[in-house]
Amino acid sequence: MKDLTDLDKTILAKLAPEFEGATGPAPGHNYKFILLPVSHKLAESPEDFAARVNKLNDEELEYICDRILKGEEDVRSLSEGDFDEMLKVIENRLSKEKAEELVNR
């Protein structure tokens, strides 16, 4: 399993503060992806998932987009509706073109 970078862990901590502590990113618990554990284990709805993604700053959001485009994030396995809601955040915060690029990857 790929180790997450410090930036990955920072983003995961913002998206999922519930993971902090003995079993979370702080002690080095590694996930292959950033978005999947949030989508499957924590987000109560697509809207909750989008609200979590919206906590990221623009640089972190761009970084997530780049990971998706490089195939380093599995968005096809997100819970139903989560990717669509995340695209709305990306369109509103970054650009419509960036959201379309993710759809067409």
Q: Where are the domains of the chain?
A: 6-103
- pTM for the model stands at 0.86
Distance of CA 47 to the CA centre of its chain: 14
Q: Are the beta carbons of 41 and 71 closer than 8 angstroms? A: no
Q: Which residues of the chain have pLDDT under 50?
A: 1, 22-28
Return all residues near 46 (Cβ < 8 A) that are at least 6 apart.
Answer: 79, 80, 81, 82, 84, 85
